[in-house]
Amino acid sequence: MTTDVTNIWNQFHKELGGFISKTVRNSTDKDDILQEVFVKIIRNQAKVNQAVNLRQYLYGIVRNTINDYFKSQKHNSHTSEMPEFLTEEEAQSLNATIADCCITPFIQQLPEKYKEALLLSEIQDISQKDLAERLNISYSGAKSRVQRGKEKLKELILNCCAYEHDRYGNLIAGEKKNCSC
């Protein structure tokens, strides 16, 4: 799959910049790191083009660039190195960014009753009991509506993108079809 750097920029720069800014919390450093990420993408275009999962490959470049940044800061000003794992807050922030960028547009395509149920229960994190009260339906009805909404969401995503998974059901690769995701 050949991927042009301009397309990568248009598709991922906001998402990657958001991830970087959650880690470094300094807009100047964020811009420097994002620039360095795209320099690496340009220099390694052949490897980027061979990536099975482009998003995963780009996040690997970002993580390595952030690590390099913290190592250089450590040598320059004795600051601590970036932790190897994300904190709970950073993970939640990343999940929110992914939901906003990737999942919510698909949810918006669902029929109104499923869209409302998923946005409230999954995006706004409202319990299904509260969802039932809010929608004036039974608890089992709310559970069913969320479950059916998830099934319809899965169909939309799978119809848009060709995903491969391992024998445990974990996603291992994806290729974009002709859709707007």
Place of tokens 């993408």: 41
**Predicted confidence (pLDDT) per residue in 128-137, tens digit:** 999 999 999 9
Query: Could you tell me if 77 and 71 are in contact, meaning their C-beta atoms sit under 8 angstroms apart?
Result: no
Alpha helices in 78-138 (DSSP H): 88-98, 104-107, 112-118, 128-135
The residue type at 51: A
Residue 148, classed as helix, strand or coil, is helix
Alpha helices in 44-87 (DSSP H): 45-50, 54-77
Question: Residue 128 CA to chain centroid, in angstroms?
Answer: 24
Predicted local confidence at residue 143, as pLDDT: 95
Domain 5-77 has CATH 1.10.1740: yes
Q: What is the DSSP string of 80-95?
A: PPPPSS--HHHHHHHH
Query: Could you tell me if 160 and 181 are in contact, meaning their C-beta atoms sit under 8 angstroms apart?
Result: yes
Q: Is the pTM higher than 0.95?
A: no
Predicted local confidence at residue 80, as pLDDT: 47
Domain extents for the chain?
5-77, 88-176
CA distance 115 to 104: 9
**Predicted confidence (pLDDT) per residue in 100-135, tens digit:** 677 888 888 999 999 999 889 888 888 999 999 999
Contacts of 176 (CB under 8 A, 6+ apart): 160, 161, 162
pLDDT at 181 over 60: no
93: confidence class by pLDDT, cuts 50, 70, 90: low
CATH no., domain 88-176: 1.10.10.10
